[in-house]
A and B are shown apart, each in its own frame.
Chain A
């Protein structure tokens, strides 16, 4: 079953603009991860943020985590056409249940 929701479901912006995606989840987590998927292919791991962290950066990516609100956001700065993809948040509860994914945000970068 889905852990939570990404918001928005779809986002279209101009190249060079920043893109922000939000994720909400329902249960306690050990960490939260963001993945990218291009055209129904495999998922690519982008970044992992631990439950005791509030913010993390990796290149043009910035992730925040608010465990009190059970929410996370992914910011992609200076977007490029190659960033066009679906983005999923996934929670790791710390057990052997694998990752629980949200429904994803489909991001389109207009040239």
Chain B
């Protein structure tokens, strides 16, 4: 079956611009999470979505936002880009459902979108 698909693979943006990244989860996975990976901070949790609802958000400013559609596809948006937003952005989907006792599932990650802000 198809894996997690992230588009685009690479992006170069200028400071102050905004960007939208897309993620298509594995069919049947309703949980979608986003992570930011940088050499300095490592892998950091951005958001988790389940059934079109944001369940939680990591310690990131309001410039970072996201949403999930009825088909479980998700997008994240970063507005007013800063140089420090340059990173690999990873999306992951899972069968995991917090609060429903179905927690012991791993995550399938996409290949990521590498964003460079210049």
A30–B48 CB distance below 8 A: no
Closest A residue to B56 by beta carbon equals A96
B88–A98 CB distance below 8 A: no
A98–B35 CB distance below 8 A: yes
Contacts of A50 in B (CB 8 A): 104
- B33 located at the interface, meaning its Cβ lies under 8 Å from any Cβ of chain A in the complex: yes
B116 CB, nearest partner CB in chain A, Å: 13
Those of A55-111 within 8 Å (CB) of chain B:
88, 90, 92, 94-104
Segment at the A interface, from B12-20, B64-72, B78-86, B107-115: B107-115
Closest A residue to B50 by beta carbon equals A96
B108–A45 CB distance below 8 A: yes
A42–B112 CB distance below 8 A: yes
- B63 located at the interface, meaning its Cβ lies under 8 Å from any Cβ of chain A in the complex: no
B111–A31 CB distance below 8 A: no
Which residue of A42, A90, A98, A99 is within 8 Å of B111 (Cβ)? A42
Which residue of B58, B105, B110 is within 8 Å of A98 (Cβ)? B58
Interface residues on B, range: 20 to 34
Interface residues on A, range: 20 to 34
A98–B104 CB distance below 8 A: no
Q: How far is the CA of A48 from the CA of B58 in the complex (A)?
A: 23
Closest B residue to A97 by beta carbon equals B56
B-contact bits for A1-24, CB 8 A (1 contact / 0 none): 110000000000000000000000
Which residue of B43, B45, B108 is within 8 Å of A97 (Cβ)? B45
- B21 located at the interface, meaning its Cβ lies under 8 Å from any Cβ of chain A in the complex: no
Contacts of B96 in A (CB 8 A): 92
A31–B112 CB distance below 8 A: no
**Interface residues in chain A, defined as those with a beta carbon under 8 Å from any beta carbon in chain B:** 1-2, 30-31, 33, 35, 40-45, 48, 50, 88, 90, 92, 94-104
With A40-B88, A99-B43 known, 15 other A-B pairs at CB within 8 A are A30-B103, A31-B104, A35-B109, A42-B90, A44-B109, A45-B107, A48-B104, A94-B103, A96-B99, A97-B45, A98-B48, A98-B58, A99-B33, A99-B45, A101-B43
